[in-house]
Amino acid sequence: MMHLAEMLNFSGRKVAAVWASVPFPAVRSHSLPDALHAYQQDVPWKLLSSCRQQKVSCCFAQSVVLRGICKERKQPTSPLHVCETAEQILQQYLHTVFPGAFSTSHILEQPCITLPPYPRFFSPLLTRQGFLPDKPSGYSAAAVESIPVLTSLQSSPVVHTLLYSLYKDLQKLDTRRWASFFSAGVEQDDFHEALQALRTLSQCYETGFEADKSEDETDSD
C-alpha cells in the first residue's frame, strides 16, 4: 500500500485517500458498461478516509480495482459498450469522469467472499452473489455469499482538508502544557518545523477552490 501511494503521488504529495463501493451497485442481469454508464455524473464509490467529501469529482492520480464483474456482450449503446474488454471499459470510464488524471485500473473476476465469519450486514434485497435483483422480489433470507467490490486509492484534493484540519488542530495546542512530550526528545523547534511541513504538504493538494478557502481561513486567524 505504501509503495502504491508513492506511485500515485508527485509534486510533493505523500498521502492518498481510499474510496470503496461494498458491494458495487450492479443489477444481476446488467453488464459492466450498463453499471458504469449509470454513474456518469457521480462516482459509484464512497470516501472511507477521514476527509470531507467533495461534490466535484477530481483527482490527480488513482489506482482502481474492480472485482467480481465481467463484461457481457450486448448491443452497443454508449462508448463504454464499444470497448472490447472489461479493463478497457473501466479505463474509459475513468478517463471520462476524471479527465486529465493519471489512472490505472485492474479487473479481478473473483468476487469478494463473504462467508462466515464475515459479518452479515448486507441488505436482504441482495442476491447470494451480492447483486441487486432484476425486479423487486421482496426480502430474501439467504445469506450473501460473495459481493462485487470496487475500490479506489486516490491522490486527490480531498486530502487537503484532512491535512489542513490536522495542522489547525495542532497549531492550537499549548505546547508548554506538554512538558513530558518534549522531555522524550522532541525539541520545540522540531515540533514547529514539522507543523509547517504539514501545512506545506496540505497545500500540495490544493486546487483553486481549496487555495481560496485556505487564504480566507488564514486571514481569519
Judgement on whether residues 112 and 140 belong to the same structural domain of the protein = yes
Provide the residue range defining the domain that includes 34. Answer: 1-155
pLDDT band at 219 (very low <50, low <70, confident <90, very high): very low
Round to whole Å and give the CA distance between 48 and 143: 25
pLDDT band at 209 (very low <50, low <70, confident <90, very high): low
Domain boundary among 137, 155, 173: 155
Average the pLDDT over 79-103 and give the result: 90
pLDDT band at 185 (very low <50, low <70, confident <90, very high): confident
Judgement on whether residues 9 and 77 belong to the same structural domain of the protein = yes
Average the pLDDT over 17-38 and give the result: 89
Judgement on whether residues 141 and 191 belong to the same structural domain of the protein = no
Range with the lowest mean pLDDT among 56-65, 129-138, 158-167? Answer: 129-138
Report yes or no: 45 and 20 within 8 Å, Cβ to Cβ.
yes
Round to whole Å and give the CA distance between 112 and 145: 9
Q: What region does 22 belong to: left with phi over 0, alpha with psi -120 to 50, or beta?
A: beta
Judgement on whether residues 37 and 112 belong to the same structural domain of the protein = yes
**In this structure, is residue 209 part of a structural domain?**
no
* Cell (9 digits) for 185: 526528545
Judgement on whether residues 46 and 96 belong to the same structural domain of the protein = yes
Q: What is the DSSP string of 61-100?
A: EEEEEEES---------SHHHH-SSHHHHHHHHHHHHSTT
Query: Does the structure show a pLDDT above 80 at 6?
Result: yes
Judgement on whether residues 65 and 2 belong to the same structural domain of the protein = yes
Judgement on whether residues 25 and 119 belong to the same structural domain of the protein = yes
Round to whole Å and give the CA distance between 176 and 179: 6
Most confident of the following: 74-78, 168-172, 188-192, 197-201: 197-201
Query: Does the structure show a pLDDT above 80 at 215?
Result: no
Q: What is the mean pLDDT of the chain?
A: 84
**In this structure, is residue 213 part of a structural domain?**
no
Judgement on whether residues 5 and 63 belong to the same structural domain of the protein = yes
**In this structure, is residue 215 part of a structural domain?**
no
* Cell (9 digits) for 89: 471499459
- Structure confidence at residue 134 (pLDDT): 79
Judgement on whether residues 103 and 149 belong to the same structural domain of the protein = yes
Judgement on whether residues 190 and 119 belong to the same structural domain of the protein = no
**In this structure, is residue 171 part of a structural domain?**
yes
Number of domains in the chain: 2
* Secondary structure class of 56 (helix, strand, coil): coil
**In this structure, is residue 107 part of a structural domain?**
yes
Round to whole Å and give the CA distance between 168 and 146: 42
- Structure confidence at residue 205 (pLDDT): 92
pTM of the shown model: 0.79
User: How do strand 61-67 and strand 102-108 relate by DSSP bridges?
Assistant: parallel
**In this structure, is residue 212 part of a structural domain?**
no
Judgement on whether residues 173 and 136 belong to the same structural domain of the protein = no
Judgement on whether residues 90 and 141 belong to the same structural domain of the protein = yes
For the stretch 112-162, pLDDT in tens is 999 889 988 888 888 899 998 877 666 666 789 999 999 999 999 999 989
